[in-house]
Chain A
């Protein structure tokens, strides 16, 4: 982290250079410069508003301004706004500083930094996302898992399995996003080792994936769900039946319908 260097750039631009560096700001500030100044305003609301405007700006300098704002440090609320601004830009220049903020003490700042990182189309963000799967805060783990799932990051699989074994609710949907038939089979073997609701959630998300198949594997999943008692599994099967309305001949759908009917009749 070259925080100090950035800090100086930013500090100088904000006019603090006058007492510190012995020289004032000579020229009239541009729009971006004005927003930079506002990031350092004593009124936090102004700083948050400036960060929002920088996020929407098409000026290439806007990203630099947001990065400098984070580099110089601020309160968590302003940090969060700056990170949101960077998240909207998906700019690879933000990876270094967002990775740093993904490990800061404020949970909300961390969560937003992880979410922002996940949106940047670069492999460089993956190590941080994998690391944050092990965060102490559930919401940060959730953000990391979701990000990895969206990115279909296969390298996350080993840690996601471990996360599931730690009974973390962030794991099922992410695993479902990465799931292969082999993974679905492995998931069914975890019945009894992790809470049923997590297994049901994973299977439900797998069944929702239009790209998952072939149908015999879906049928196995439905049969596994049929073995899990309770409202969660029934709801998942009902949702699957509803989602596959257009393909009534699908054996897995028929099996799901049968299970739902049996359970309804039993009530």
Chain B
């Protein structure tokens, strides 16, 4: 014992104490032991009693970031950083091996392999420490103004036993509640601790007594986390978050106060919170860099994300969405230069973040405007923010969304393929020429843009039908391949589809040239041929007759150029085995020629069909075209 703090060995469960407790519980209508398989669940009266047990919120202390830093292979430090003053409050060397948790003016973290240390948040001074029993593995911890609660799991034996243990602020163990099966990381809020239990339940326990107050059993999905905020308890799994309230008694998603973040894309993972059962998430890791940031509150009988905003963090990027709309309209995006952001949190008015190279910064939640970061020079492994209500310091300019998305798409960092596709998707939803120009830039890029993002950019470019960008497309189609000039047209297939969708007839000469250019990729020929047919401007409903000169009007050179190119393609390559694997360019061109051409063209096509060395798929296709309609 030192300075009134105690080092405690775990004590044996007191059977006498349990007996007394059970008698007391029986009198209150809940006779079962905590985590009993026979405890009732989804009972409204239990939930109401639990909600009454939670004490009112107190004042918040200083906005702090607790940083775990590395100085060498074995050297770790815990650094408390005052966000308001933008300076280090205290630091000490300690072998931190878990995420830091906070509450009631204390912080706690695992130290080394087998101890949990509780410190004074203001000074870092150790208040007490608890040692895990041999064979126990740390699962997680939570603090409120009166207790530390932590969960351990015993690895020995055939039956998995997990235990939640409550320790008062002097380090004295108050109670412990063992459970058969898995418990997840706890969350505590002023007198109540909530613990995920067997992947299906959230058990709410009286912090003073260890008595189970209520149990929510989810019937629609696994419940993997519980989170405590000033707005109450929230729990959930993969699909979204549930507020702990009367409606929790339904156990269903539909019957509960439930919300999910709609991001309008399946390209990014929507992880709502740390999986309380995952040992790998006990420490700071990749999950901390790749998750949804949210705060929520009940409203009008439903659940809303605070300010109707959820923020997706993906390593170096943030995307803020309007959570109210079903397609996840993007409000702003932020791309952090060069290095990963190891942790971030939503404070209510800001997104605070810490970068791996020691910068601590924030973004305005409403606009994404970055505030000037503070450089600590530390090598940060992970961070926990206790910064509710912190709004950031300093002012920054609101970033241009299109430019930010462009920056993300063209980020040379090759790790973020899915995020780049996501950014392309978001760009596609932006109106106006600048967004179209960036999509086109992505399509034409020779390097730096993943193929999937490039493909998606092409699809969106075509779908946008941005009439204001016709000239941009025409300019992009203008150059031919030239090794001497180091010029290599890209995305000709996408451009062909885009100008076709926009009915840009001025593109025909360029398309005709690309159709017959040997440098045009084979895969692009079909789209080019189809675009030429579409843009030919041929008379609708043309029915060729004897002596007919075709669907092109007499002075329509555009139509004639298209027809000539299609004709040359068919005749030049009709017997070229290189088209055997994919004869589509030839069949599309042949069909176009059949539609646009006059009597002479059709006879020539019939010759193609009959000539013995013509590729069989083409010959058959033209034969079908020649058949009178049934």
Contacts and interface: CB of A to CB of B under 8 A. Distances in A.
Nearest to A3: B571
A129 interface: no
What band does the interface of chain A fall in when counting residues whose beta carbon is under 8 Å from B?
35 or more
Interface stretch (B134-142, B241-249, B477-485): B477-485
Interface in A145-189: 159, 162-163, 166, 168
Contact of B603 (A8, A104, A106): A8
Contacts of A11: 604, 607, 611
A166 B483 contact: yes
Contacts of B564: 1
A103 B606 CA distance: 26
A190 B179 CA distance: 80
A103 B577 CA distance: 18
Interface stretch (A14-22, A209-217, A222-230): A14-22
B610 interface: yes
Interface in A1-16: 1, 3-4, 7-8, 11, 16
Interface in B516-537: 516-519, 522
B475 interface: no
A75 B607 contact: no
A143 interface: no
What band does the interface of chain B fall in when counting residues whose beta carbon is under 8 Å from A?
35 or more
Contact of B600 (A8, A42, A106): A8
Contacts of B604: 4, 7-8, 11
Given A42-B612, A134-B481, A135-B483, A71 B578 contact: no
Nearest to A10: B607
A75 B578 CA distance: 9
Interface string A19-49: 1110000000000000000001110100100
B613 interface: yes
Given A4-B601, A75-B575, A44 B613 contact: yes
Contacts of A7: 571, 604, 607
Contacts of B481: 134, 136
A79 B136 CA distance: 80
A55 to B, nearest CB: 20
B518 A136 contact: yes
A160 to B, nearest CB: 9
B572 A73 contact: yes
Interface in A86-124: 100, 103-107, 110
Contact of B518 (A74, A110, A162): A110
Contacts of B110: none
B567 A105 contact: no
A133 interface: yes
B483 A168 contact: yes
A135 B571 contact: no
Given A3-B572, A134-B487, A135-B483, 16 more contacts: A3-B567, A4-B601, A7-B607, A21-B603, A42-B613, A73-B572, A74-B613, A100-B568, A100-B572, A104-B572, A105-B522, A106-B576, A106-B578, A107-B518, A137-B518, A166-B483
